[in-house]
Chain A
Amino acid sequence: MAGDKYSVLLPTYNEKDNLPIIVWLLCKYFHDSSFDYEIIVIDDGSPDGTLEVAKKLQEIYGENRIVLRPRAKKLGLGTAYIHGIKHATGNYIFIMDADLSHHPKFIPEFIKKQKEGNYDLVSGTRYIGSGGVYGWDLKRKVISRTANYITQILLRPRASDLTGSFRLYRKEVLQKLVEACVSKGYVFQMEIIVRARQFNYTIGEVPISFVDRLYGESKLGGSEIIGFVKGLLHLFVST
């Protein structure tokens, strides 16, 4: 549809090695699919020079494609989205991770799915269809599936992947949802889906592959699990 523009919000912290690759991939897939886009890099004062790399990328791809909206220090994901939305000139917003765990090749699939069902939001899911994860051992898979199972039973969200953060939103939908959410971390992404259901927004899903740390596996610590359980219980009693 003429006039659609997609703003990709990329909150970054110490991603000087990954940022050029993700930007290169985003520009490649957007360019090949002819959709109008911009990439908004929200760097939280990374000490490793991520912002300098972002400026060089801006020189290569142009200031209309790479928009820099840095912040002084690490301020959290919710506020990063709010900050990004304020500066976004697109009518649709992609959120994704900048560490190469989410692959831009799915972007045309998200857009196609959104148009198919005129969805308010499209969520990337690792748990159905061709979705999956690279780099998880058996223990991690069991924890993940068990946590998702418990979440499905307690919250019945009618979305298969609640903690995923590769999503496409209409701009005004994301704005309203971020304002309504109070949680942090994994639970923030869960709360967004739960609130979206409360507000009767329509949700579509696209299977995605999640490549968890190409080099070495990311850790899932006890404190993250406890935080997840607390957040889940909070959503259970309040929504």
Chain B
Amino acid sequence: MAAPAGKTTTADVSLRVVLLEGEWCCWRIIMTKLMEWLTGAVLILGPWSAVVTNTIQNEFTKQYYMEILLFPVFLVAVFGLVSIAVIAYRVYTFNDCQEAAEELQQQIKEAKADLAKKGLKLD
């Protein structure tokens, strides 16, 4: 379990460089979440824009040009629908803890009675 030593600097918000304890000559570049997403976006949108601008073309890309063009829209739509479904499910199955509230109310009464016996009167 190696913990990064010292303070990390965030002067550059896109890359954080951390000096690892005991590795005096070794720098490790940590990808921030933003960098991971940008990398992913480049990996998908790079080839996509090459095809869409006809920089790269072949039989396949000519035949499915429309589908490829609309592919990112399709991805966003699928993501949106899946997200709504997941959130709806989680809201629907969110536990309401009715018994927890009742138990607490009961214990508040118990506590007040016991504390009054011990000398602390509460309203």
Spell out A's residues near B (CB within 8 Å). 17, 20-21, 24-25, 53, 56-57, 59-60, 100, 103, 127, 130-136, 138, 141-142, 145-146, 149, 154-156, 176, 198-201, 209-211, 214, 235-239
Contact = CB atoms under 8 A, between A and B. Distances in A.
Interface stretch (B46-54, B57-65, B66-74, B87-95): B87-95
Interface string B89-123: 01100111110110011011001101100111011
Contacts of B10: 238
Q: Which of the listed residues A17, A57, A132 has the most CB atoms from chain B within 10 Å of its own CB?
A: A132
Contacts, number: 102
B39 interface: no
Contact of B16 (A17, A135, A238): A238
A214 B105 contact: yes
Contacts of B100: 103, 132, 134, 209, 211
B117 to A, nearest CB: 10
Contact of A156 (B16, B30, B33): B33
Interface of B: 1-4, 10, 13-14, 16, 30, 32-34, 83, 86-87, 90-91, 94-98, 100-101, 104-105, 107-108, 111-112, 114-115, 118-120, 122-123
A24 B32 contact: no
Which 6 residue pairs spanning A and B have beta carbons closest together? A132-B95, A209-B100, A134-B97, A24-B111, A209-B97, A134-B101
A145 B108 contact: no
Contacts of A209: 95, 97, 100
Contact of B97 (A21, A100, A133, A146): A133
28 contacts: A20-B111, A20-B112, A21-B112, A24-B114, A53-B120, A56-B119, A60-B118, A100-B108, A103-B104, A133-B94, A133-B95, A133-B96, A133-B97, A134-B98, A135-B101, A145-B94, A149-B90, A154-B33, A198-B30, A199-B4, A200-B1, A201-B1, A209-B100, A235-B33, A236-B32, A237-B13, A239-B16, A239-B33
